[in-house]
Amino acid sequence: MSNLAKRTITGVFIVILIIFSVVLSKYIFTGLFLLITILGLWEFYSLLEKVDIHPNKTLGTIAGAFLFISNAFIALHIAPVELLLINFLLVFLVFLLELYRNIPHPFTNVAFTFFGLLYVAVPFALLNYFPNPALEPDVYNPTIVLGFLFLIWVNESGAYIVGTAIGKNRLFERISPKKTWEGTSGGGVLCLITAWILGMYFKELSVLSWFIIAGIVVVLSTYGDLFESMLKRSINTKDSGTILPGHGGILDRFDGFIMATPFVFVYLLLIS
């Protein structure tokens, strides 16, 4: 089976799985993205071990999972906001446990443990608030999550298809030799068209808001892709993992999402 066929089959499966999880239940949605967060963190920490950096993989993954769960509980009105304070204790626990690991370059290990939490866990944790940015009781708007994800998928898929077909001018050759201005522009145009369609049917947000979110996605999703390419180049690896045939790893699939999510989250807070 060709890599394109694997990529297509895997991509379709991921899209269907996520759509069903978001639509069926807020708890299934939360559970699925908790799993993705855990896999993404473990993958990130495993990548660093290839270049002799040894973050606290176990504690980092546990702390990231709790960061996601605590924010999910707040968003679902299951627990009070004070639950978030436990995250500070887990952060300082990283300092304490590093004393007992007896591994070279302890401060580098601590720094990259924290970086994994910031880079991977925080964006996924913030996604919990998308269905209800104002934290109103008994409110769950799956269309906001779906719309955001549709924009991510259309932008990335459009950039890949257009870039493969007619791409010639390199966007950022030093970091990503295959990414082109033509592909990026094509993905951006399709993303904006999708925003207009979303505005017609997903009425929780205005057409203008969908256009603004699309603009954020086009810019930040592209930077997310470039940042992850820089990460992989710095450790001389092609893919972040092998869990997703044709795509690589969790970070390969969600790199644009990771960078765009915090910016869209802030925008949703401002208009809610």
pLDDT tens profile 166-200: 989 999 888 888 899 999 999 999 999 999 999 99
176 - beta bridge partners?
A: 172
Share of the chain above pLDDT 70, in %: 97
Does residue 62 contact residue 108 with C-beta atoms inside 8 Å? no
Residue-level pLDDT at 108: 95
What is each CA distance from 168 to 149, 156, 161, in whole angstroms?
28, 17, 13
Cβ–Cβ contacts within 10 Å for residue 150, how many? Answer: 22
Residue 4 pLDDT: 61
pLDDT band at 8 (very low <50, low <70, confident <90, very high): confident
- Tens-digit pLDDT profile for residues 229-265: 999 888 888 877 777 776 678 998 999 999 999 999 9
Q: What three-state secondary structure class fits 186?
A: helix
Distance CA 239, CA 247 (A): 8
For residue range 90-125, list pLDDT tens digits in order: 989 999 999 999 899 999 999 999 999 999 999 999
What total number of domains does the chain contain? 1
Which is higher by pLDDT, 129 or 232?
A: 129
Of 237 and 5, the structure prediction assigns the larger pLDDT to 237
- Average pLDDT over every residue of 24-45: 96
Q: Above 90 in pLDDT, residue 272? A: no
Q: Residue 57's pLDDT band (boundaries 50, 70, 90)?
A: very high
**Residues in CB range of 59: below 8 A, 6 or more apart:** 90, 93, 94, 97, 113
Report the alpha-carbon distance of residue 120 to residue 28 in Å, rounded.
Answer: 20
With beta carbons less than 8 A apart as the criterion, state whether 183 and 159 touch: yes
How high does pLDDT run on average in the chain? 92
| Cβ contacts of 10 within 8 Å, gap of 6 or more | 244, 245, 246, 247
Please give the residue range of the domain that contains residue 188: 3-271
Asked if residues 159 and 186 have their Cβ atoms less than 8 Å apart, the reply is yes
* pLDDT for residue 3 is more than 70: no
Q: Provide the pLDDT for residue 1.
A: 58
pLDDT at 88: 92
**Section 56-85 average pLDDT:** 96
Question: What is the rounded average pLDDT of the residues 126-141?
Answer: 93
C-alpha distances (whole Å) from 96 to each of 75, 131, 210 are 30, 37, 45
pLDDT tops 90 at residue 156: yes
The per-residue pLDDT for 64 is 98
CA 118: distance to chain centroid?
A: 11
Whether 7 has a pLDDT exceeding 80, the answer reads no
> What pLDDT does residue 240 have?
78
Residue 146 has what pLDDT?
Answer: 97
* CB 269, CB 133: distance < 8 Å: yes
Q: Is 80 exceeded by the pLDDT of residue 37?
A: yes
Percent of the chain topping pLDDT 90: 79
Q: Is the pLDDT of residue 67 over 90?
A: yes
